[in-house]
Structure 1
């Protein structure tokens, strides 16, 4: 009987309709994730005025929401390895969509904060599982490009939040931008039908027929052969999934990924929550400030599309380190310029060096660790990163309360990019776990170009 390692089938597959459908729905989910995160920054000035809260309180509400996302990233990252990534993606999509939707009906800061924290749990849980599922099913030669492209959806959603906020807040009211966030609930039946379950999870649970059907959507020849046996991944050892991230000499790299993600989220949440207010400090009105928020997200999209394929050719570190440092320089210069075209160019670089960089970094983490701990690795990294999201809104709120010159505010935020660049420098590539070297089997795997394997006990 022919034995086949499923990852060989996926690695060597061509990009066809199965991948297109998967990328489309994951892109949509991440787009609404980005929309939900950014709309708070768009409505902060309105909430301060309507509810009479201070800037520090508004920043604290943003930080409480991020506590929810950090919790969701850890809990659902670990749970997905136990109950399946598809189930987690569907549940967390409903969670963040529904509670963001009803946030638009809150009549005060307390109820609003509760809804936003619960929505944050869903937001934090969906992202690591989307990354893991996209990584698992993408052909190896374009894996980074696909994962990075999916996360362009975050910037598309963020741009939509900025632009809809610009038009709706002044005409309909701030509540309306939250109501739009309920749209993904309508997509749940399509997600149930279209999303595949993790092959690694199916094999661990002994669901061989479902494994065959799923892989048959990638390689139709599997549907025509009855003499096929799939090589099962190694049985997972008992113990804390997070502790295992520090095994096999990956401890330093794990810490560096966490610090890098922390730095990126300081940049992202500082921009998402406070960029309109920061630009108003420079002298722009609310409408123009929201438009500049959209410019930042456009820079993230362009940066991701440009640098994703480059990463596949020259490696992650050669792209991420210069990108971090470029972001630090660009952010420091914003407060010194009144020229709108220069500001647009600088904000585009900041977008590429924050959201765009994190899109690429997600792909880095997802490929650095074995498949059976991928969701845990991404979830724990993003959970630690979310601490930066917790710190950033409060930190910038305090900066604004000190009435410093705008250039000092931007320079303080830029220091996070320097820290992130240094952290990536210390990631140890030699201990990375790549799919072509997978030894998740009971023995040693020797593969041939057709994807057949021999297991040597």
Structure 2
């Protein structure tokens, strides 16, 4: 009989068809998630006209889903540590798919806002759990790349929203965009069959046989038998897991992660909700304005995958600091007149370094915290960050109502990027001091 270290087996495994399956289903769920999120920015110009919405009311409506996402991220993030990743993910998929589809039937802003809030609970709850699941099953040497690749599905979903909006909304109305959200429900039986449960959760529930079968798929070459005993490094389980985020020299880093999430999500959701309207106000037609939204999400895919690749070769911290600096610079530049090709290029850079940075932040948090509090850490970072996401649409509405010069709108959106740069630069600093060897040599902190 052998003792099989579960974490070491996953960390050192070669990439197998099982990993492809986890990547496929987690990415598909994030694609649906991204589609649901970007819908509002696509239909906003039509909703403002049809319901005679002021910019302030439109901003509040855009924030309704984000309020739900804040509570969903924190609530479902902690709940999954008790119910399991798989069950929680499936509950969230049902929640956001059904309510988004029903949203196409509403006739007034109040109904719209309530349903968007409920959908937001599911959208916010699914994010930290799929990130946690993908991170748990990824081999260590390619973990950042795989998590970033999976999360680039968010941008693919955004592209689908913008692309379908350009074609379908003028012909079939804004409602069709919400009806299409029923697709995840049709795929639910396949998700139940093929999406795996977390091995860490199975071990915590003493379901060794199920965990053993999953590890055989993770690393078929190890030939794990029923006589082998699965072991995981002991963890100190606390009754208040949120407090664990501030222990072990993690207090400064936790606060800086929350600050970075707040600033990054403020930029992402201000752009996602108001970019078409801002560009329309600058003189572009609706088709061109939606094209800017599509280019933003194309850039996000490049930024997420490229950033993950760079992070596996350098460090997540250095990549994120560079990305946030580029985000601020590109947003400031977008406020000034340029040839169309340069505007599209700057928009792609902005997408790569705002939405791409959001994706890399999830990967960074997933790697920074131990497995027993990972979902809680992701849920709380995402939940705190949702305050920025909530303010993003409100900020866009306020800027539009103030009728500021075009460049001032984008300058205001660039300020959070500068703050996030400083926050990420400070992650791990206090832990590095706490983790000194007895001879006074500093140990490398998180990277």
TM above 0.5, yes or no, is: yes
Equivalence for 1:193: 193
Q: Which is further off, 365-374 or 328-337?
A: 328-337
- Alpha-carbon separation, structure 2, partners of 1:137 and 1:272: 31
Alpha-carbon contact 1:331-1:350 (below 8 Å) kept:
yes
- Alpha-carbon separation, structure 2, partners of 1:158 and 1:164: 10
Structure 1 residue 389 displacement after superposition: 0.7
- Alpha-carbon separation, structure 2, partners of 1:283 and 1:235: 58
Taking the TM superposition and a 5 Å limit, the aligned residue runs for 1:277-426 are: 277-426=277-426
- Alpha-carbon separation, structure 2, partners of 1:226 and 1:419: 52
State the Cα RMSD in Å: 1.3
Alpha-carbon contact 1:282-1:335 (below 8 Å) kept:
no
- Alpha-carbon separation, structure 1, partners of 2:219 and 2:382: 33
Alpha-carbon contact 2:69-2:386 (below 8 Å) kept:
yes
Alpha-carbon contact 1:204-1:232 (below 8 Å) kept:
no
Taking the TM superposition and a 5 Å limit, the aligned residue runs for 1:134-145 are: 134-145=134-145
Equivalence for 2:27: 27
Equivalence for 2:83: 83
Taking the TM superposition and a 5 Å limit, the aligned residue runs for 1:58-457 are: 58-220=58-220, 225-234=225-234, 236-428=236-428, 431=431
Equivalence for 1:444: none
Structure 1 residue 338 displacement after superposition: 3.9
1:362/1:93 CA distance change after superposition, 3 Å:
same
- Alpha-carbon separation, structure 2, partners of 1:260 and 1:346: 22
1:137/1:174 CA distance change after superposition, 3 Å:
same
C-alpha offsets along residues 240-279 of structure 1, whole Å, 9 cap, x if unaligned?
2211100001000000000001111011101110000111
Unaligned runs of 5+ in 1: 433-457
Structure 1 residue 234 displacement after superposition: 3.0
C-alpha offsets along residues 378-418 of structure 1, whole Å, 9 cap, x if unaligned?
01001111100111111110111011111001000110111
C-alpha offsets along residues 431-456 of structure 1, whole Å, 9 cap, x if unaligned?
48xxxxxxxxxxxxxxxxxxxxxxxx
The DSSP-based 3-state class of the residue aligned with 1:42 is: helix
Equivalence for 1:450: none
- Alpha-carbon separation, structure 2, partners of 1:11 and 1:244: 24
Q: How many residues align?
A: 432
1:430/1:194 CA distance change after superposition, 3 Å:
farther
Alpha-carbon contact 1:296-1:347 (below 8 Å) kept:
yes
Equivalence for 1:53: 53
Q: Which is further off, 256-265 or 239-248?
A: 239-248
Alpha-carbon contact 1:213-1:223 (below 8 Å) kept:
no
The DSSP-based 3-state class of the residue aligned with 2:229 is: strand
Alpha-carbon contact 1:200-1:233 (below 8 Å) kept:
no
Structure 1 residue 429 displacement after superposition: 6.1
Alpha-carbon contact 1:138-1:146 (below 8 Å) kept:
yes
The DSSP-based 3-state class of the residue aligned with 1:404 is: coil
- Alpha-carbon separation, structure 2, partners of 1:163 and 1:43: 12
- Alpha-carbon separation, structure 2, partners of 1:156 and 1:310: 21
The DSSP-based 3-state class of the residue aligned with 1:259 is: helix
Structure 1 residue 187 displacement after superposition: 1.2
Alpha-carbon contact 1:204-1:233 (below 8 Å) kept:
no
Structure 1 residue 232 displacement after superposition: 3.9
1:335/1:235 CA distance change after superposition, 3 Å:
closer
- Alpha-carbon separation, structure 2, partners of 1:276 and 1:160: 15
- Alpha-carbon separation, structure 1, partners of 2:359 and 2:197: 23
Structure 1 residue 236 displacement after superposition: 4.9
